[in-house]
């Protein structure tokens, strides 16, 4: 017999495995092809990361509010950024800026060896920590801090994923990309034109590639108690 936690994680009705599989099919139709990413998203219950009022919409391909003016990213966006992170090989050490609900964090923890994740809003970080614990994703270190500064004590990083959009790329994050490493980051004003960028460090030189258009909440400096 399944435990109450196992029953909840498995889901039912609008959170059932069948509904979740339809999301995977939509992601494939949208061009997501990395089986590692699809497999991770198939086994990571998104309904665990949204407020109960929105659990029936957890497997729609849409962003949903999580409080404090923040959102859990659209599944396509999570998949696209995860694919980009893996494109040059599985990174050993990843820095995530913007833990938020913890959903992207959980995917990264499933796909890579070690994740360092920064969140500026303490209450969101606390919820994310509990969700990651329930899923046994223990290869994550969380920090309540200003994401603009990165986490230099544990850098440089093989990959950096930024889950909110600054108007311009934070210099401290660029400094923390390891040789041969990459950063996936949306850049641009909220409500304006944003671009999802891949920035690589190759032979000491930073090279920028535009992946696609984007729409993210702003990356705000400072930390909130």
Is 73 an active-site residue? yes
Q: What is the 3-state secondary structure (H, E, C) of 135-202?
A: CCCCCEEEEECCHHHCCHHHCCEEEEEECCECCCCCHHHHHCEEEEEEEEEEECCCCCCEEEEEEEEE
Catalytic residue among 73, 82, 101, 117: 73
204 CA to centre of own chain: 26
DSSP conformation letters of 106-146:
HHHHHHSSEEEEEESBHHHHHHHHHHHHHTT--SEEEEES-
* Rg (alpha carbons) of the chain, rounded to whole number: 17
185 CA to centre of own chain: 11
Which residues participate in catalysis according to the annotation?
A: 73
């Amino acid at each position: 017999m399944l435990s109450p936690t196992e029953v909840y994680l498995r889901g039912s009705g609008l959170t059932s495995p069948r509904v979740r599989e339809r999301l995977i099919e939509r992601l494939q139709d949208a061009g997501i092809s990395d089986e590692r990413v699809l497999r991770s998203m198939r086994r990571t219950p998104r309904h665990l990361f949204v407020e109960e009022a929105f659990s029936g919409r957890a497997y729609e391909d849409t962003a949903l509010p999580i409080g404090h003016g923040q959102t859990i990213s659209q599944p396509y966006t999570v998949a696209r950024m995860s694919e980009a992170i893996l494109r040059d090989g599985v990174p050993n050490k990843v820095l995530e800026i913007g833990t938020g609900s913890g959903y992207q964090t959980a995917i990264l923890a499933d796909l890579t060896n070690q994740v360092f994740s920064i969140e500026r809003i303490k209450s969101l970080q606390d919820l994310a920590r509990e969700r990651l614990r329930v899923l046994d994703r223990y290869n994550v270190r969380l920090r309540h801090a200003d994401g603009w500064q990165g986490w230099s004590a544990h850098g440089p990083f093989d990959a950096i994923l930024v889950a909110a959009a600054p108007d311009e790329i934070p210099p401290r994050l660029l400094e923390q990309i390891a040789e041969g490493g990459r950063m996936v980051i949306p850049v641009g004003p909220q409500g304006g034109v944003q671009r999802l960028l891949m920035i690589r460090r190759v032979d000491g030189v930073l090279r920028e590639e535009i992946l696609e258009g984007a729409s993210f909440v702003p990356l705000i400096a400072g930390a909130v108690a």
